[in-house]
Amino acid sequence: MKMKLLGIAVGLAVAGTAWAAGVRDEPITPIRPPQNINIGKAELGKKLYFDPRLSKSGFISCNSCHNLSMGGSDNLPTSIGDHWQQGPINSPTVLNSSLNVAQFWDGRAADLKEQAGGPIANPAEMGFTHTLAVGVIESIPAYVREFRQVFDKEKIDIDQVTEAIAEFEKTLVTSNSRFDQWLLGKDDALTPTELAGYELFRDSGCVACHNGEAAGGNSFQKMGIVEPYKGNEGVEGRAAVTGKDADRFSFKVPTLRNVELTYPYFHDGAANTLTEAVDIMGRLQLGRTFTEEENGKIVAFLKTLTGEQPVFRLPILPPSSDATPRPTPFD
């Protein structure tokens, strides 16, 4: 077990060295390393995150739509669900998701634990039920042993499953970006163009929404304040949760951390490039049309928000037993 825990434990220790005193006073703040992680629970959650047997087809895992090799997203306008269904909305990155005020674009899940149970039972995503997912886990002897070791309970339930996945997701923090290094006092971490891009980003008002550790994720805002956004057709946004008409077309502000990796952009994935996204947001949210030069500087700054990506040994999933349902991706 010690060797199994080493990957996350070392990662957290290294991340801790990146945090220091003397932070610049800016609206965006450095990402701090994750705190109070239960390593055993996170290691179990890592297996579950990568395990496609939690889906009806036995083919889709959490990593399918939140690919940790692709910035924690899938680089598709909308994700592919059970039986190749087209999802209704863009898949947000899982990286730094523990910093969000709530989960999903409309904030319908209060935390990562609640969010983790949603896709499993969504017919358009993993297409399973919580009862059947737990049944699959209970049919795998190595999982049964590990759940008992981690939770000290005889019976496995969906709360344990989602709690473990959430604990793993809390470790997916991408600290030590070049912008973080600049915030922590390293003057040469940014080029003059990148620094000019940040100052333009800040002074134009982008930081009103994109602030804090995640440069976003901590508020809900209407998409299309100055001009209406054509992609709002057919979606409700936050109003689907609150029932308030004032929340129509409001979405959780996405994090800009690792944004160069998480294309396409917006809730509908309509912007394919950062250049396009900056242009649209400037006009629709700020009433400002950035020149080509200004746009390029802002894009250069945004790319400095790419932090150190999670590095760990991929889990070896426990083998199925004779009682474990076999994958049926074509049924």
Asked if residue 281 has pLDDT above 90, the reply is yes
C-alpha distances in angstroms, 95 versus 2, 4, 235, 248? 25, 22, 25, 27
Instruction: Give the model's confidence band at 112: pLDDT under 50 very low, under 70 low, under 90 confident, else very high.
Output: very high
- 77 φ/ψ angles, rounded to the nearest 5 degrees: -55, -45
Question: CB count, 10 Å around CB of 242?
Answer: 17
Give the residue numbers marked as catalytic.
125
C-alpha distances in angstroms, 173 versus 26, 82, 285? 20, 29, 28
The CA dihedral of 200, 202, 207, 213, to the nearest 10 degrees, is: 110
* pLDDT value, residue 234: 73
Give mean pLDDT, residues 148-152.
Answer: 98
CB 49 within 8 Å of CB 97: no
Whose structure tokens read 């909308």? 78
Q: What is the mean pLDDT of the chain?
A: 93
Question: Between these two residues, 325 and 9, which has the higher pLDDT value?
Answer: 325
d(CA 102, CA 254) in angstroms, rounded, equals 11
* pLDDT value, residue 331: 87
- Looking at residue 220, its amino acid is F
pLDDT digits (tens, 9 = 90+) for 28-84: 999 999 989 999 999 999 999 999 999 999 999 999 999 999 999 999 999 999 999
Give mean pLDDT, residues 221-244.
Answer: 90
List all residues 6 or more positions away from 246 whose beta carbon is below 8 Å from its beta carbon: 239
d(CA 131, CA 147) in angstroms, rounded, equals 16
Q: Considering the chain, what percentage of its residues have pLDDT values greater than 90?
A: 90
d(CA 64, CA 126) in angstroms, rounded, equals 10
d(CA 5, CA 117) in angstroms, rounded, equals 24
* pLDDT value, residue 4: 40
**Which is nearest to 164 in space by CA: 128, 112, 213?**
112
d(CA 11, CA 172) in angstroms, rounded, equals 10
* pLDDT value, residue 14: 45
Question: CB count, 10 Å around CB of 36?
Answer: 5
Instruction: Give the model's confidence band at 16: pLDDT under 50 very low, under 70 low, under 90 confident, else very high.
Output: very low
